[in-house]
Each structure stands twice: as structure tokens, then as C-alpha cells.
Structure 1
């Protein structure tokens, strides 16, 4: 598969999207979730691959069949709404998963999630990352990934990010609306990227207690060692090195994995402007993000 033509952004039921995530829409909406499915939901660039890998190792690290172990994380944890010409859709990959539970990832805003996930009372792991680092990571991702619209330069992209004119829409709406959903749907575990960075062992423990898993100390150690940034950057199963639409010479998929890299990108003026805008959009005192650890 050669490089994809870069898609154009359009308004889809009030959210900025591209055809690579809406072309298979009816099939996605009719997806049949099972009660033991686990949905990993995130805004883009919030630690999706990280948490997918953690869950894959917790469930299948020791027991997974050999063919399963050697497959890349994007096959083991399919991207539900992905619909790119020439490759199986995320929905088809999810339907064909041989594992129990099935681990499925999505970037959909909460209002777009197929109803069957709620009806089957599936467990959902939501991961959020502070907006500034998210914006920086998303910018570099757009530069290297031809399945994304052209990001332009940093100041242009930052403006688009603040306006929600990026794929999957507004970061503010995404994190807030998923937080709201958690208040009425008890099976959501809401995690923060910064917390995992600060203490991955603690966050893995919390995740295990949400999922009802009780791995041995030894297993937990093995998972923690396997999900460090350096381990994942070296690991062909997690670094997306074989994904044709990603040009890792422009920017690696596993770029820095740090909290606070935004300081290397935001000018003082951009930061002030962003903080003002952020105050307007983030009214919920219960939802606080750290921009450094």
C-alpha cells in the first residue's frame, strides 16, 4: 500500500472528521459488542497505544497463543472506526478477534460510541492527557501520517486544535463529555497520562482492580518493564514501524512520551492565549490536568 492521499476535514454531526473514520459508519454503529469486551477510548495522542499494550500484556502476556504474541498491537487491539482502502476495516478486525476478552480501541467522542457497548455494560478504559502535550503530539503525528490532514505549521495547527478543527473534534468536548458519561455509567475507568508517567506500577494496580485481575507481583513487574517508553519504542509490535501511511523519518510514532514537552513548542504569547481559552472551555473543577509531573 502506497502513501494515502491526505484527507480533508468535514463537519460530521457537529464533530470534525475525515472519510477514513466515517466511511464505514453504519457498520460501526451496528457493531455487536459482547459483555466481556473492553473498550479503550481516548482522544488521539493521549496514550492509546500505551494502555492498549498494558492491557494486552495483562490479559495475554503469558497465555496468548504464539501467533498472537508476534502480531502488532494494532491487530491485537483493532481501531474500531478505521476504514482505509486496501486494509481490513477496524470493525472487521474486531469481529474476527480470537481473544476473550476482545480489546478494542476508539477515538470516538462519547456520543458516537456504538450503543451495544452501553447495552452490554462493557468495561471502558478512558485515557486523557493534558491539552498542551496532546496538541504538540497531535501536530507531529499529522506531519508524519498521511492518513491525517496536512497540519500546516505549529502556530496554524495550535489554532485549529483550540477551535476543535482537527480529526475527532474538540479535545475539550472529548475529555469533558467522557467525564460526564462516567457519572452515569459506572463501568468507566478514567485514567490520566500524567499519572501513568509518574507511577506506572500504581496505575497498573488501579487498572487491575477495575478489571478484577490479580496478577502476581512478578507478572506486574514484567508488564511494567514491557511498557516503558524505551521498551515500546524498540518493539516492532508497538512502534508502528510497518505502517505504510506513517513516515517515521519525518517524526517517529514513539516520539518522546514525556510530560511537559509543550514547553519546547509554545511561545509565551501562545501559552497565555491558550490558558485564557482553556479557562473558558474547562469549567468542571473535578477535571484537572497536570502540565508537568
Structure 2
């Protein structure tokens, strides 16, 4: 089949509870909302392109005593289920995948907290939220949207960043997303991770995740997990790097799913004028909270 025949139409954005979602996800949202997890299930949440894949791989390795071979048993999207995923990108929807798995299951979501099924809170499921500074998130999300039909057309960087600032992208406004989980982190025992902290001291953050999951692994195993989850190792790991996703969905000749994994790449994309505009908007939206994001290390 030629490339022309395999091109999939771009997703459209549809509002659901005030949040824009890709149309194929919006269509099945009622069923997602009604999902009831088992108390032993683990939830990993993040705004897109904030470090959730990295966190998934760490959690899977922690749950399997750092055994690299076990964690190569299947692609990461089979080992950790995106709750709201649909058959557009996978053979089965996330809900269908979960029906076939025995608890404890590791479940991922990009949904803002107010759209996460109530059962996760009611059943006191272990929850991990990973957040990345807004500028680097915007850059990474831009390249992701360029390479996938999972997202609508992005337009040029200049218009994309305006959409990012105004919450006109899939999964809503970054500012509200991170604030929602931050403000509820203590009440709901959410482990709030920062991408920048994970880059700066990965061992410390792996140990924090281990303790949150009530696990106890040896120093040797922790060291192995840290090594296996470096950006280079994951980028070269076919069970993590999404190379298994068909080109008509993820065209990695445009941009790799795992592109740079750096802190501060935003400096290569923001003009001084745009950075100043972004910072002013950021201050207005984040003035009521004190979330210690860092835009460089």
C-alpha cells in the first residue's frame, strides 16, 4: 500500500466538560468516565509530553524488580494502558485492554483531574503525576503534534504557542492541568514529580516512586533501573520508543516520539519577545499557586 493510501485523516477537537479532546476520545468519554479501577491499580497522570512514558517505564521496572527482559515482554502501550485510548491507535481501546488484565494494573491518563474517573479517588489508588515546565512542554508537544494524526493540524510554531497559552489544544490548558493535581496532591496522596528533578537526580526520584508504591528494592536494583531509564536507553529500546506504532499514525521521519529529552530546549524556539509574552501570561495564570517549576538546570 502506498503512503498516499495509508494517510489517516487528522483528528478533530471536540469540547467535553470544557476541555478539548480528540474526537475519537470524546466519542467514548462516557464509558471512560464510568470506569471503576481496582484499589490496587496505579494511575500515572500527566499533561502530554511531560514525562509520562519515562515514568511508566520506571514503574514497570520497579514492579518487576528491575528485570529488563520482563519489561521487554510487550510494547509500553500494552504494559501500561492509556485509559482514554481508542482503536484509532491500538487494536483495542484502553477499556478493552483493562478488561483483559488482572489487577494490579498500571494505568496512564492525560485527563485533567476533574475528568479522571471518580473511582480512582474513592478506591484510594496510588497516583503519580509528572509535570514539566510549560515552555519545554509546549515545544515537545508541538513536535509530537507535527508527527501524529492523533492530533489536529498544528499550524506554525507561532500559532501553536498561542493555542497552548489559551488552552486550545487537546487535553486542555496546561496551567489548569498542573494546578488541578498540585492542589489535590496532599488530600489524594498524589506523588507529584517534576521532569526537571528527574533529569537532575534520577536516582532520588526513582526512590521516591518506589516508596510511594510501598516497595523496597536493593540499591543494586535501583541503580539498574536508573541506567535502564536514561533517555538514550529508552530511545534505543523498541519496546519504549513507539517505533512499533504504524507510520500512518506516528510518522517518526518528521519527528521522533522521543526527540531530545532535555531541559531548556525552549531557548531554541522562543524569541525574546515571545518568551516575555509567555512569561506575562504564565504569571497571571499561576499567581495563586507556588509550584516550583524550573526552566533550566
Aligned equivalents of 2:240, 2:129: Cα separation in 1: 19
Q: What is the correspondence of 1:1-293 to structure 2 with a 5 Å cutoff?
A: 2-61=6-65, 69-85=72-88, 87-98=91-102, 100-185=103-188, 187-244=189-246, 245-293=249-297
Q: Partners in 1 of 2:24 and 2:232 — Cα distance?
A: 30
Cα distance in structure 1, aligned partners of 2:175 and 2:82: 22
Task: Go from structure 1 to structure 2 and tell me whether the alpha carbon gap of 1:287 and 1:225 turns closer, same or farther (over 3 Å shift).
Answer: same
| Offset at residue 96 of structure 1 (A) | 1.7
What is the RMSD of the two structures over their aligned residues, measured on CA atoms?
1.7
| Larger CA deviation: 17-26 vs 128-137 | 17-26
CA deviation map 1:91-123 (0-9, x unaligned): 11122224x421000000101111111111101
1:216-247 Cα deviation digits (max 9, x unpaired): 11110110011000000000000000112100
The answer to which of 27-36 and 196-205 deviates more is 27-36
| Alpha-carbon distance, 1:65 to partner | 8.9
How many residue pairs end up in the alignment? 290
Cα displacement string for residues 22-66 of structure 1 (whole angstroms, at most 9, x for unaligned residues): 222222112120111000000000001000000001102556995
Q: Distance in 2 between matches of 1:36 and 1:287?
A: 29
Distance in 2 between the 1:167 and 1:84 partners?
18
Unaligned runs of 5+ in 2: none
Q: Secondary structure at 2:178's aligned position in 1?
A: helix
Compute the TM-score of the two structures, normalised by the length of structure 2. 0.93
Q: Which moved more, 1:57-66 or 1:165-174?
A: 57-66
1-structure distance, mates of 2:279, 2:66: 45
SS at the partner of 1:10? Answer: strand
Structure 1 contact 44–107 (Cα < 8 Å) conserved: yes
Q: Scaled by the length of structure 1, what TM-score is found?
A: 0.95
Q: Which runs of 4+ in 1 moved over 3 A?
A: 61-66
Q: Counterparts of 2:256 and 2:230 in 1: how far apart (Å)?
A: 16
